[in-house]
Structure 1
């Protein structure tokens, strides 16, 4: 009785364009099957060898499935393995297939005597195929490998965030957002802030922003203003809301990689855990309160604002009672001290 072949899963072909091929000079992958091709290239005319070593841009791949594993359908990345016929699988799926003890190819069902073999030619190919960063429009000029585009996207410093303004669809990097906040919305913005240092800031009711730069990588004075534009910065929103008996201040870190930030809060070291310290104090005879001091250290919520502002109930709120304000105080602003703790 003949065994019926396993039906293959048909998927819609994906067409991917704007590939570029680049020579990988650091690749040390060598395979005996490539020796013949290498020898032929040595006998080729010099102009032909020169042309083959240059990058080729604007290449369209009619079927991107050819660059994916035939089992898990994820992008192929080294090490890559093949059966004797030439069907390729990724390393993880190769291990799973060999663990079953079947010994047959997942596609053609041919016996894989000695197991799957490394496919160095395919490894070199997938490493040479480069794609533009999905955030190229926001200033990123990186061209990661096709199989590494998702990893790059998760850490790309040019990934955009959203403006929290009502009916405003602006998106951009942290620095671009800062310019947008100050220019388009006229929201209060502070730039010369460094991590770990306390600073005094007067908050208006509504949105207030400050851009935090790394303490060790920024200079002093005018040099700090220049340097902060070239090192990774973090954008923070301080939202001041009027309540019936107080003002509620919440602090939000505007960051494009919210999934990485969430992992950091769960113990992963991808991003440092961000905490904030807020201090409010007043002394004198301006009100019925002769002396008042309050301080809190809390964890900062991180978001790219793609879903709007987070629910205030999910954020720590720093409440300042209305009774501490005197007769001559500005009723629309509040002076506090803040410090970002990594």
Structure 2
């Protein structure tokens, strides 16, 4: 009899849990009601309230003059509100990058922290009016198939040539890193050259550098260097005024070399072996000028 009672109890608990799941899946809320009315950020424990039930987050409570509620001027209680804390801890929302592959459900007040660390943050096409966003791999395919931008595969520390034709040039490193070299249409007598690394997570210090050399006539050679290549998701388009080299209108041949600090961990023998590799796939243009 006792075993039967235990079985019925488990079945009841299972049904109640299933009902809670169904309810959770069908709840619709205006999420701003769970934001602090003072700073407009999501409420997170500890949460405080006044006698009339107005909520405020802990940092804002500490700044309230005389601990008076901003909405009704009532005194904000010193003890936190356990009920609302349980609610805000139970609210789960999808990642802002769910459409780009993230399946995580995040506590509402932690969505900002998750967004900053999420590996599914997309990169963006800088072409005006395009709006495409995706991983760097998807972006590479988009550049070549949709915009027909020429692509060059290269090795770090190994020079390769490009024609200084106005427009975008996609550069793909052997380790998968993606760079975009832009040769601007000249407003004066010169083409401006810019270079960025396409990367969703932007680090403060660039690990990459670049040099560009070209010759316009016999006996002439000019070399420009970029010590730190900017990393960007291109969410705001190409960085403004980022030209580091200028070439004449004529279709000069650019000799480009990109280096990286990641190579510091490789010994000299390995570096020399890579530099002397005759693999024809590197430094080879796909979709470039014939």
Compared CA separation, residues 92 and 296, structure 1 to 2 (3 A): same
What is the CA–CA distance in structure 2 between the aligned matches of 1:336 and 1:111, rounded to whole Å? 67
CA offsets, 1:196-248, max 9 Å, x none? x4233332423112345xxxxxxxx8xx6xxx5xxxx5x32112347687654
| Paired position in structure 1 for 2:198 | 254
How far 1:332 moved relative to its partner?
A: 6.6
Compared CA separation, residues 296 and 124, structure 1 to 2 (3 A): same
| Paired position in structure 1 for 2:78 | 116
| Paired position in structure 2 for 1:143 | 105
Q: How many residues align?
A: 249
From 126, 131, 135, give the equivalent of 2:93.
131
- Structure 2 residue runs without a partner (length 5+): 1-8, 263-290
**TM-score scaled by length of structure 1:** 0.58
* Structure 2 counterpart SS, 1:77: coil
Compared CA separation, residues 71 and 280, structure 1 to 2 (3 A): closer
Query: How does 1:147-166 map onto structure 2 within 5 Å?
Result: 147-165=109-127
Tell whether 2:256 aligns with 1:336: yes
Tell whether 2:157 aligns with 1:198: yes
Compared CA separation, residues 120 and 175, structure 1 to 2 (3 A): farther
What is the CA–CA distance in structure 2 between the aligned matches of 1:246 and 1:184, rounded to whole Å? 28
What is the CA–CA distance in structure 2 between the aligned matches of 1:203 and 1:322, rounded to whole Å? 14
* Structure 2 counterpart SS, 1:207: strand
What is the CA–CA distance in structure 2 between the aligned matches of 1:188 and 1:340, rounded to whole Å? 23
* Structure 1 counterpart SS, 2:66: coil
| Paired position in structure 1 for 2:285 | none
Does the 8 A contact of 1:277 with 1:341 survive in 2?
no
- Structure 1 residue runs without a partner (length 5+): 1-41, 213-220, 262-270, 324-330
CA offsets, 1:153-212, max 9 Å, x none? 34433333332335534332322111111222332334676xxx4233332423112345
How far 1:90 moved relative to its partner?
A: 0.5
How far 1:108 moved relative to its partner?
A: 5.2
What is the CA–CA distance in structure 2 between the aligned matches of 1:305 and 1:83, rounded to whole Å? 45
Compared CA separation, residues 308 and 88, structure 1 to 2 (3 A): closer
| Paired position in structure 2 for 1:4 | none
**TM-score scaled by length of structure 2:** 0.67
| Paired position in structure 1 for 2:204 | 272
Does the 8 A contact of 2:214 with 2:253 survive in 1?
no
What is the CA–CA distance in structure 2 between the aligned matches of 1:126 and 1:155, rounded to whole Å? 21
Does the 8 A contact of 2:95 with 2:104 survive in 1?
yes
How far 1:301 moved relative to its partner?
A: 4.2
